[in-house]
Structure 1
Amino acid sequence: MYNNKKTSSSPMKFKHFTRKGYALFACLGKEVIVGTLSVATLTYAKADGISTQSIMAETDSLATHSEIALDEVRVTGSRAPLTHGQAARMITVLEQKDIQAAPVQSINDLLKYAASVDVRQRGPIGAQTDISIRGGNQEQITILLNGINICDPQTGHNAFDFPVDVSDIERIEVLEGPAGRVFGTSSLLGAINIVTKHPKQNKISAHAEAGSYGYFNGGTSIGLTSGKWTNTISGNYTRSDGYNRNKAGRLNTDFEGAKAFYQGTYSDKDTRVSWHAGLSMRDFGSNTFYGTGSDDQFEHTFKSYTALQADTRCGKLHLSPSVYWNRNMDRFEYFRGLDNIIPEGGTYGVAYNYHRTDVYGVNLNSYFDWTLGRTAVCAELRNEDLVSTTLGEPLEQHKHIHNTDRDYTNGLNRTNISFTLEHNILLERFTLSAGIVAVKNSWNQMNMRVYPGIDASYRIGNNVKFYASYNTSLRMPSVTELYYSVGGHKADKNLKPEELQALEGGVKYLGNGITASASVFYNHCKNMIDWILDTNEGNDAVWKSVNFTKINTLGVEASLAMKLNQLIPQQHLLKSLDLSYTYMTQDKDEPANIQSRSTLEYLRHKFVANLDLNIWSKLDLTMKYRWQKRTGSFTRKDNSGGNAVVSKFKPYGLMDARLSWNADKYKLFVEANNVFNTKYYDFGSLPQPGTWIMAGASVDINL
């Protein structure tokens, strides 16, 4: 929730997040000043911000000289940093305090409460989750860690295997809609950035929780700060027996994982330098996640992340260079524990598939001020190199797979180059931000393509802001979409890149204890990529990757947030009530004989409600409810287990709750997901967990 405090006599400055170089688009020269948000405000916590005169004087040489009372979040979605009151692009921000209050155990679970975000979970506690924005799929958004693009060109299925635990996160930033001129390829429908904590004092933190189905999660972090230097190191371990078994009675949704993360910073009046390195390892039973030929699939992923970033703070020309290397390793077992052994009736030549992806990136972002406004000029080089046992073109020289007797026999290497030019015109109440991104990819000898965008906003008084935008973007096909042709799948290596044009308009109101917003968006996408199954082909039907020519999406978002303790100060029980709703429709309906893996299975309706209560003293209760209705269908076995039956997705509603005691140095909690044990499906015929109960504690010790 927003702290809507008036600043009639003196400005209110939020120092807690001031000038953090690792904020969203930090590698692009962006900065964020964050107020206080709640989890359920994800859909309406748009990027309007309180920007008082003193704040703008310190952080923006182009500051206007009138106070703007629109939210307390100062975030921009452009290449050049602007005060939030000036910014025309809307961004959602979720703060650390509200992340900790939510009844969730993973970032994936947290995003379920965003009305415009579709979280399709194949396994519990984020074991394997597809996340999309505004009717798209998991491949069409950019995922960032501290402003660094960590997308895997092989597939978006495991994009949320972060090296950090929920307790390590300072905030989450969500940009809805095309972000081509900000991120280039893969940001077709938006971006999600995870910003980690930096220590403000020397401290040790630890937490542990346990619950249903053998679930356990424990971790610790150490933060050290001395003068201009800060360092943080954290580790985490989690596991569960899972909630499901295969036909043979063995566990097939169990998981186990470990994470480690280190980050540091150096900062003085002229320069800020930051760096991070992280590891994430996860083993999980993947049930029938990738096909129904086996109900005992298994997957192992190992990921490493390294990055170095810097920002200059003096002179007329501001520079923000960064360099990074991400490695993703994956072993998929179609038949768990059986390599080179094919059960009777099996269709795989080899039971295990191995993949390794190395992504190297360098970018340089700059901006400068002059008479006509603020101009940003940026360039980025990103190389994606994949070797695999199944994906890509045959390698001239095979590469050995460590700790096996196998070799990588296929591969693909492609390089993406992008240049961005953006200019911002800032008037007292009006902002116009326009720019272009030019993109060239070495894959399929793609020529240079140019994608423009323009954002505008106008403020009326101190409480109302109107905004509108037109943006374009593209996405290169993933390697899986191009080459995965085994186990009932047939890929097309000649797929075209997806391209999107989007229009959006909206209004936001921020009053005394009330925040309301409404917006309309329209997306026109051509060459949309999806996996489809033609049931008319009978037993010979396979899943094919295809370009779905053109798809138009029309959507409406609305939200209302009330700070009840501010509106009704006589009582202390009710803290806040938040409501949000998103409706979407696509004009390409699914034919009766066609089943879609993602594109045609979008959320038509999603409603989210959040109620925060203060029961007594430090005892708080958070209740979250979401109701959603998905279009599309899936195939399941009939009651006899023989014939295949095509079923439509049914709407469902879920209630989650968390009861917590929040002391200064420690916290205790008990929570329940799916309180009423609702039976529901997020993806195909995979049943989701029933009621899941957990309890835990955390402690902070100052050194």
Structure 2
Amino acid sequence: MRSCSDNCMPQRYIDGRTERWLVAWTFVGLQLQSQRKKSMGPFKLNFIICLSLIGASTIGELSASIQDSLDVKGQPIPLVLLAEAPVSVGTSFGSILKTDAPKATTVLDLSELKTAVALTEALEFAPGVDIRSRGPWGIQSDISIRGGSFEQTALLVNGVRWSAPHTGHHLMNVPIDPEDLGHVEIVRSGSGAMAGAGAFAGSVHLRTPTGDVTDGGSAAIEAGSFGWKRLRLHADMKAGNSIQRFSMSRAETDGHVDNSDAQITRAMWVSDWNLGAERWKLMVALEDKAFGAQNFYTSTYPDQYETTQAAIAQLNWEKTGTNWRASAAAHGRYHRDRFELYREGTGWYQPTEDGFYVRNTLGSQAEADTAGLYARRALRNVLKPYEPASWYAGANQHRSLTAAVNGKFQWFLDQSAWTFSADVREEIIQSNRLGAAVEGAPEMYPLADQRSNVDALVSWRGHSESGRLAASVTSGANLNSRFGTNFLPSADVRYRLGPDQEVVVFASAGRSVRHPSFTDLYYNVGGAQGSEDLLSEWADQAEAGGRWVPQQGNFVLEASGFIRRGRNLIDWIKYEQAVPAQDVYQAANLSSVDFEGWDVSATYRWDASILRRARIAYAWVEADRMEQDFISSYVLDFLKTKLDLVTDWSLPLEVNAGVRYSMQQRNQPFAYATGNEVFHLLSLSLERAWGEQNQIRTAIRMNNALDEQYLDIGQVVQPGRHYRFSLIFDLKSEE
């Protein structure tokens, strides 16, 4: 039998009791004063958050505390939690057992995260996840799930959705090092009502640690191929009921090809207060990136460059009563992006007095500057219509702000529970390319736009007296100031089979929605044409599957199938027979595309063996529509099949080893110039601890060990075989 009930919450402590209670819960959300019509200059943002909770009850104090997926020393999840890790799987409840999840779910613990320098490096080998990188080590990556586009995956951090209204390409600009996470949950199914707008095809949930710590810290130094260097510092401090965590890292590389150099700086502070039944968590995080963007968005003008900055502030609050739990959060995300189609600086392009950008080199590079293209226009437009870059007036500059507050209240009864939840957010952008002209706006950002978004739900979940059967019904709604109201119903069910309830079958169905980004609506530069007439895309989807978990809890076998009927899907397409012929990609709604597929995974952990863990997973996705007279940039360019293998080993001489393998096949291999319909990625790692207290660790990781030559997206060449060496010092205070 399982160690806690279906909801991992207090109903097991109140069975058979009666109570009387009164709860008045007021959530006054968000007041925004932006002076939209007069000036979109400095953001004027005022939060007024009132959270009041008044209750009385005759029930005794809850003795159980919320579980964490990380032990006090930050080691991998204990063996038993392979079967019973509490996760948030797109349901309306804070945590349920992974084995009881009504959706296909994967949990990555610290052992899969600590050898990565970017979250996407670990997600590359996760079942059913498509990571498309424009550079190594997390320089820029898109994440997709089950054939969805990069805009159709939601990212939640400590239960709060992070959004990138400018473009989903910047969603994974996450100012958190993988080593600072407790675990990652991947939900391979749309969860529109629960995870909010954007959880179209799936969601990724990041959780920072909440376990106890001892005073101490660590310092890590790395060096590797292509001039890779990284320095990371981390410190933990405990004082009374509070825990403070500080992290800072700086990484840089010369790049594996010309114009692929990069610098990445991150800093984070997390403060936890545990007051018994009440908990607070404050997180402040920063990230700064600067990188050569060779061929990132177009191969016509390859010498691109980009800098991004992200700043996050988030405050979480949670309180647990005898038969209820309440939580709330306030979140702000500021993001700034400068994109140069022609990289500026010494040795690159220089602006001229007459408004062109010229690179003073010989040969083909000289022909690539805007002045050269402009001069050649008269010679070429007779034979072939040619769009010169004389329209290029300098870098694209954008800054966006997302401000959100949310709240959730859960009421637990004997064999059921109710959940009420709401998320209110404002999304604002200022730009020289996106939005409408604003009187009195700053010279650098003459255009602007903003929109309000509300996600709300009411959900009921119940289970039978034996616990074998559990089901939930959710009524959700999304209200957007520009795109109107969408009703998002959902339902799920799971049933345990067998005398020991080792087999679980589950099914879910629901609707999800995603609104166009500001780039989708407004971008109109360099062969790309957005559309202000775009509609929100939505999908109805269903999933059914099962999992087998033997009593010892160290093995999980899971299989599931899904269907997703997408409508008004947003894509960037190019018509092949346009008249006159134009090399222009236009944002458009595709009327309907249906996706279906299945995935299967098996995970096993050994307590005392050379092979400590193994996970193998296979996923297949198919669409009912192919390109007809147009080229699809995103909707029909998906990962069709994927095979992943992850193993961890305990070798002689106290050496720990990891092997990560992934076989990937895209739906449109002809769109890329490698000639490889299938490519294989292999990552190998070795680690050993030294010293009486294992205070020194050395590690080496080899990525793309097979030296595969491949393009992950567009014409961006991925690096061949490359290495990374690490030296880590763990510093702990004396007891």
TM-score range, shorter chain: 0.7 to 0.9
Aligned to 1:668: 698
Q: Provide the TM-score with structure 2 as the length reference.
A: 0.80
Q: Residue 98 of structure 1 aligns to which amino acid in structure 2? A: E
1:232 matched to 2:245: yes
Correspondence for 2:478 among 421, 425, 439: 439
Aligned to 1:546: 588
Aligned to 1:367: 410
Aligned to 2:294: 287
Correspondence for 2:424 among 370, 378, 381: 381
Deviation at 1:635, TM superposition (A): 5.7
Unpaired stretches in structure 1, ≥5 consecutive residues: 1-5, 15-26, 52-69, 246-251, 400-405, 637-645
Distance 2:331 2:191 in 1: 20
Distance 2:131 2:600 in 1: 19
Q: Residue 661 of structure 1 aligns to which amino acid in structure 2? A: R
Residues 256-289 of structure 1 show CA distances to partners (whole Å, capped at 9, x for unaligned) of: 0111111112121242111111110000111111
Matched positions, count: 623
Aligned to 1:22: none
Distance 1:673 1:50 in 2: 31
Aligned to 1:209: 222
Partner SS, residue 520 of structure 2:
helix
Q: Residue 673 of structure 1 aligns to which amino acid in structure 2? A: N
Aligned to 2:600: 558
Deviation at 1:87, TM superposition (A): 4.6
Distance 1:426 1:359 in 2: 38
Aligned to 2:485: 448
C-alpha change, 1:289 and 1:436, in structure 2 (3 Å) is: same
Correspondence for 2:618 among 551, 573, 581: 581
Q: Residue 628 of structure 1 aligns to which amino acid in structure 2? A: Q
Partner SS, residue 598 of structure 1:
coil
Correspondence for 2:645 among 589, 609, 615: 609
Distance 1:634 1:357 in 2: 36
Deviation at 1:7, TM superposition (A): 9.5
C-alpha change, 1:450 and 1:365, in structure 2 (3 Å) is: same
C-alpha change, 1:276 and 1:82, in structure 2 (3 Å) is: closer
Distance 2:66 2:153 in 1: 21
Partner SS, residue 339 of structure 2:
strand
1:687 matched to 2:717: yes
1:161 matched to 2:173: yes
Q: Tell whether the 8 Å contact from 2:70 to 2:183 is kept in structure 1 after alignment.
A: no
Correspondence for 1:510 among 549, 552, 565: 549
Equivalent runs, 1:260-279 vs 2, <5 Å = 260-279=267-286
Partner SS, residue 178 of structure 1:
coil
Deviation at 1:138, TM superposition (A): 1.1
Correspondence for 2:356 among 336, 341, 350: 341
* Root mean square deviation of aligned Cα: 2.7
Residues 118-150 of structure 1 show CA distances to partners (whole Å, capped at 9, x for unaligned) of: 111111111111111110111111112222222
Q: Residue 424 of structure 1 aligns to which amino acid in structure 2? A: R
Correspondence for 2:209 among 197, 202, 218: 197
Residues 368-422 of structure 1 show CA distances to partners (whole Å, capped at 9, x for unaligned) of: 12356100111221000111000011112212xxxxxx42111111001222100
Residues 539-583 of structure 1 show CA distances to partners (whole Å, capped at 9, x for unaligned) of: 5220111111111111110122334x46xx7xx433333211001
Residues 138-185 of structure 1 show CA distances to partners (whole Å, capped at 9, x for unaligned) of: 111111222222221000112112212122122111122111111221
Equivalent runs, 1:67-86 vs 2, <5 Å = 71-77=83-89, 78-81=91-94, 83-84=96-97
Q: Residue 410 of structure 1 aligns to which amino acid in structure 2? A: L
Deviation at 1:90, TM superposition (A): 4.3
Correspondence for 1:654 among 681, 685, 697: 681
1:525 matched to 2:560: no
Partner SS, residue 110 of structure 1:
helix
Deviation at 1:626, TM superposition (A): 1.0
Q: Tell whether the 8 Å contact from 1:631 to 1:648 is kept in structure 2 after alignment.
A: no
Distance 1:7 1:83 in 2: 11
Unpaired stretches in structure 2, ≥5 consecutive residues: 9-50, 52-64, 345-349, 358-369, 374-388
Q: Provide the TM-score with structure 1 as the length reference.
A: 0.84
1:421 matched to 2:458: yes
Partner SS, residue 193 of structure 2:
helix
Residues 290-319 of structure 1 show CA distances to partners (whole Å, capped at 9, x for unaligned) of: 112321100000110001111112354432
Distance 1:590 1:321 in 2: 45
Distance 1:170 1:239 in 2: 25
Aligned to 1:390: 433
Deviation at 1:91, TM superposition (A): 3.1
Deviation at 1:485, TM superposition (A): 0.7
Partner SS, residue 290 of structure 2:
strand
Partner SS, residue 124 of structure 2:
helix
Distance 2:102 2:80 in 1: 14
Identity level (%): 24
Partner SS, residue 120 of structure 2:
helix
Distance 1:659 1:473 in 2: 42
Q: Tell whether the 8 Å contact from 2:662 to 2:681 is kept in structure 1 after alignment.
A: yes
Distance 2:611 2:69 in 1: 24
Distance 1:169 1:699 in 2: 19
Q: Residue 83 of structure 2 aligns to which amino acid in structure 1? A: D
Moved more, 267-276 or 424-433: 267-276
Q: Residue 147 of structure 2 aligns to which amino acid in structure 1? A: G
Q: Tell whether the 8 Å contact from 1:385 to 1:411 is kept in structure 2 after alignment.
A: yes
Partner SS, residue 549 of structure 1:
strand
Q: Tell whether the 8 Å contact from 1:657 to 1:675 is kept in structure 2 after alignment.
A: yes
Distance 1:254 1:333 in 2: 15
C-alpha change, 1:166 and 1:372, in structure 2 (3 Å) is: closer
Moved more, 521-530 or 193-202: 193-202
Aligned to 2:42: none
1:127 matched to 2:139: yes
Distance 2:484 2:644 in 1: 43
Distance 1:303 1:212 in 2: 27
Deviation at 1:82, TM superposition (A): 5.4
Equivalent runs, 1:464-475 vs 2, <5 Å = 464-475=503-514
Distance 2:176 2:413 in 1: 41
Deviation at 1:698, TM superposition (A): 1.3
C-alpha change, 1:387 and 1:272, in structure 2 (3 Å) is: same
Correspondence for 2:107 among 70, 90, 93: 93
Distance 2:181 2:328 in 1: 23
Correspondence for 2:156 among 123, 130, 144: 144
Q: Tell whether the 8 Å contact from 2:296 to 2:715 is kept in structure 1 after alignment.
A: no
Q: Tell whether the 8 Å contact from 1:381 to 1:416 is kept in structure 2 after alignment.
A: yes
Aligned to 1:34: 69
Partner SS, residue 580 of structure 1:
strand
Partner SS, residue 521 of structure 2:
helix
Q: Tell whether the 8 Å contact from 2:103 to 2:543 is kept in structure 1 after alignment.
A: no
Aligned to 1:356: 399
Distance 1:525 1:133 in 2: 14
Partner SS, residue 182 of structure 1:
helix
Say which one has the larger Rg: 2
Distance 2:317 2:624 in 1: 45
Distance 1:577 1:174 in 2: 18
Distance 1:452 1:205 in 2: 47
Q: Residue 396 of structure 1 aligns to which amino acid in structure 2? A: E
Q: Residue 477 of structure 2 aligns to which amino acid in structure 1? A: A
Q: Tell whether the 8 Å contact from 1:297 to 1:334 is kept in structure 2 after alignment.
A: yes
Q: Tell whether the 8 Å contact from 1:80 to 1:422 is kept in structure 2 after alignment.
A: no
Moved more, 146-155 or 474-483: 146-155
Q: Tell whether the 8 Å contact from 2:127 to 2:601 is kept in structure 1 after alignment.
A: no
C-alpha change, 1:91 and 1:660, in structure 2 (3 Å) is: same
